[in-house]
Structure 1
């Protein structure tokens, strides 16, 4: 008759064979989903490719070791090490992770993470007990087994912690281009059909959303934050003798501004008042204009002397209103297309941000456009993939469609939201086709925070968005949609002046 010792060792061995076989087979049957889940892990994202195969191989190898009596002891030690690693991983997810990812399948898929942790601790205990029972009854042999278990535990813990730290570095610094998807970051609250698709965001105040209209450029439309009451305000500039091409409206605090960069004029008016007075005339042509204060702007423009795109400050009321900063954007190829991007300003942190369209670079500047930091988005396109030809009249033109890296962007309260044009590793292509993907960065900590899908069931080609303290407002097609941010995003918002930005 077999002793309790022998029966217990066999029972534990069969238990782990069943556990690892079931877990590995479940993962293999839905391997693509398993890879995606590993890629979303905040601790193992950078090693998702190796880990997805490695875990399967290790689990099956341990099963084989446990089947045969000669290798069973090694199999029990291996089971102990693997379960210690899983336990430390789950503990770090619960304790240090900014979000909780999905389970990685198998028999524990339906458990919540705390129950999962308790289950793993129990398996560690029974594996350790089985190893000790496998040793001779001599005190010296038991001591050796316990010592080896302690050493293996320390090694396993250290390995998981090291992988976590290395994964953090690779994700944030080495551009491995593996996204971390935040869990349930937005919840839809309201939506409204605007009937037409030519609206754009002009600004948002505490009680109103302001919309411009490309087909009615002198009409400023406002609606309350729940899209119930709509008002229209026709803007009447104090002079019309210009050949406008694409007039735009922008709201900042109690003022609105009307401008068209192809014409060197900026009008300023007060909300609720139809009359807009000329604020700047003949001072600058520009392709982009953002408010940095009531009567001051940051612009992007073509600087003919250096033959490249340039950023600058425009202060219409000063004696020398225009101050161009020709050295900020640099020049990789043609100086126009390769430096093209979006200029934004965060009034809460007084930080200006320039997001390049065709490469993975961000510029962080103060309100004087002094560069404080340069860092990269998570994708790997560091050199613009564009081809430019020069025409006979000296003009330059793209000779083939460029690879666009970053599309729309918005900066608010220390967070930069970028609509990406590139798919990352192990991402669901079907979901990609039916969503816009938004990457979120901290402009103060200079790091990647996470990403989320913005639903696009109608497969619209363009999206516009605007951010407030608690909400994301979206314009897509002829609809305006209001989403509420979850805490995993709002916890990163900051207020006040940003500090400690260091040049990389």
Structure 2
């Protein structure tokens, strides 16, 4: 019996030696990239330098301890502690973090985070079993062994949680601005279960909300604003010979558009008709696209000569169909991450709004991309807090998680509804666990009107917003929720041409 136990312990030890040797060598061979990945971690970013070297040293030291029989018990305990730490780390990343960094390299990097979690749990069980059997072989007290494992696991959990909360505090710490919370500006009226969480808003009309689905990219879904039923229409393009990566819909009545910016093609169809025709081909690549009117689009794209993002206008039917404005989005160091943002079109007021993700700025533009307003959100982050590392092979990656200022937004009736990532002074951190804060700005009056909370389970990392009629629609996980606006917001609606800001 002891021979079987000994063989099991040896096999587990050799497996752990192979695992840690492979993991450490993979990291050493691409150490530059490994450091950047650690720096991107929302848990380890504040101690990235120490962790990047420390993990390598500990993994190699554990391998040495496992090789020799005299030190094998210490090596097994150390392996157990490491694997519990890695397991808790992955669990926290998957369930509580807004930023999921790259995996750890080699074959393990190909697993994906959830598969990696299962692998780690299995390894924890194996190492624990090996400790118990080895204790029995050496006539050690098994109860003492179990208590020591529980203590190590508890210490590991506490360590990861402390690091996470320290990182979370650094991101969401109290800032030097104060929100004005409006009195019941929205009232929840109805929820509709969509069954899956792969939907996105494609647009709206006064009576309908339109959805696309990332997993069925050629299906356009319409819902009445009462959220009574869904109607799905299979869209038929006039040609399929394009390698789409992420085709999306956009509705701007009476037309709708199907596009994928990685492929320079835009289809157009009429609402109610399932057939779409190629409207623009080989005219522009883009990351975002906004249909302004029947004959023109505004888009964002990477402008290689200046190595930055640029805004442009596309008029497919004109001879000079393309107009770029590379100087609109200002950069200080990096032209891609610093200028990243979200575009919106307010059809009622004929304005384009570009909301920066990483600083407190949003631009209001006209049809020709002339600036009508250069406005600020209420927080104080005027410069993106981004560090970008350029690797030796030319790749560029975040050197640490960026301080995200604005998460998602929508524009309608001259108002910007913006989900902020930053907590203001005097705000209760518990409210942030199950809510998203929405700040409202008047574009025409150039001022901040107030804020309100929208209920959001803490495991949901992203919401989407759409406005139709006097309703705010919110996609939260696999649900679409309808809120009715109160008079303290509708009094600020500007329907039709706005006065110039």
**Into which bin does the TM-score normalised by the smaller protein fall?**
0.5 to 0.7
Query: SS state of the match for residue 328, structure 2?
Result: coil
| Paired residues of 1:338 and 1:386 also in contact (CA < 8 A) | yes
In the TM superposition, residue 458 of structure 1 has moved relative to its aligned partner by 5.8
Query: SS state of the match for residue 451, structure 1?
Result: strand
Query: Which residue matches 1:228?
Result: 228
Query: SS state of the match for residue 305, structure 2?
Result: coil
In the TM superposition, residue 221 of structure 1 has moved relative to its aligned partner by 1.0
Q: 1:243 to 1:391 in 2, by over 3 A?
A: farther
TM-score normalized with structure 2 length = 0.64
TM-score normalized with structure 1 length = 0.63
1:272 and 2:272 are equivalent in the alignment: yes
Query: Which residue matches 1:486?
Result: 486
The CA distance in 2 between the partners of 1:495 and 1:472, in whole Å, is 16
The CA distance in 1 between the partners of 2:283 and 2:394, in whole Å, is 25
In the TM superposition, residue 176 of structure 1 has moved relative to its aligned partner by 4.7
Question: What are the superposed Cα offsets for residues 432-472 of structure 1, whole Å, 9 maximum, x if unpaired?
Answer: 11101000001111111100000114642110010133110
Query: Which residue matches 1:368?
Result: 368
Query: Which residue matches 1:455?
Result: 455
Query: SS state of the match for residue 482, structure 1?
Result: strand
Query: Which residue matches 1:308?
Result: 308
| Paired residues of 1:418 and 1:438 also in contact (CA < 8 A) | yes
The CA distance in 2 between the partners of 1:272 and 1:287, in whole Å, is 27
The CA distance in 2 between the partners of 1:176 and 1:458, in whole Å, is 25
The CA distance in 1 between the partners of 2:327 and 2:375, in whole Å, is 17
The CA distance in 1 between the partners of 2:349 and 2:278, in whole Å, is 29
Q: 1:185 to 1:459 in 2, by over 3 A?
A: farther
Query: Which residue matches 1:286?
Result: 286
In the TM superposition, residue 316 of structure 1 has moved relative to its aligned partner by 0.8
The CA distance in 2 between the partners of 1:323 and 1:367, in whole Å, is 12
| Paired residues of 1:176 and 1:378 also in contact (CA < 8 A) | no
* Count of residue correspondences: 327
The CA distance in 2 between the partners of 1:206 and 1:444, in whole Å, is 22
Consecutive unaligned residues of structure 1, counting only runs of 5 or more, are 1-174
Query: SS state of the match for residue 488, structure 2?
Result: helix
Per chain length, whose mean CA-contact separation is higher, i.e. which structure has more relative contact order (CA < 8 Å, sep 6+)? 2
Query: Which residue matches 2:192?
Result: 192
Query: Which residue matches 1:402?
Result: 402
The CA distance in 1 between the partners of 2:346 and 2:246, in whole Å, is 25
If you compute each CA radius of gyration, which structure gives the higher value, 1 or 2?
Answer: 1
Query: Which residue matches 1:446?
Result: 446
The CA distance in 1 between the partners of 2:243 and 2:229, in whole Å, is 34
The CA distance in 1 between the partners of 2:364 and 2:196, in whole Å, is 36
Query: Which residue matches 2:335?
Result: 335
1:500 and 2:489 are equivalent in the alignment: no
Query: Which residue matches 1:179?
Result: 179
The CA distance in 1 between the partners of 2:394 and 2:243, in whole Å, is 24
The CA distance in 1 between the partners of 2:479 and 2:320, in whole Å, is 43
The CA distance in 2 between the partners of 1:316 and 1:176, in whole Å, is 47
The CA distance in 2 between the partners of 1:203 and 1:475, in whole Å, is 13
Query: SS state of the match for residue 343, structure 1?
Result: strand
The CA distance in 2 between the partners of 1:188 and 1:498, in whole Å, is 29
The CA distance in 1 between the partners of 2:239 and 2:215, in whole Å, is 20
Consecutive unaligned residues of structure 2, counting only runs of 5 or more, are 1-174
Query: SS state of the match for residue 364, structure 2?
Result: strand
Question: What are the superposed Cα offsets for residues 14-66 of structure 1, whole Å, 9 maximum, x if unpaired?
Answer: xxxxxxxxxxxxxxxxxxxxxxxxxxxxxxxxxxxxxxxxxxxxxxxxxxxxx
| Paired residues of 2:191 and 2:480 also in contact (CA < 8 A) | yes
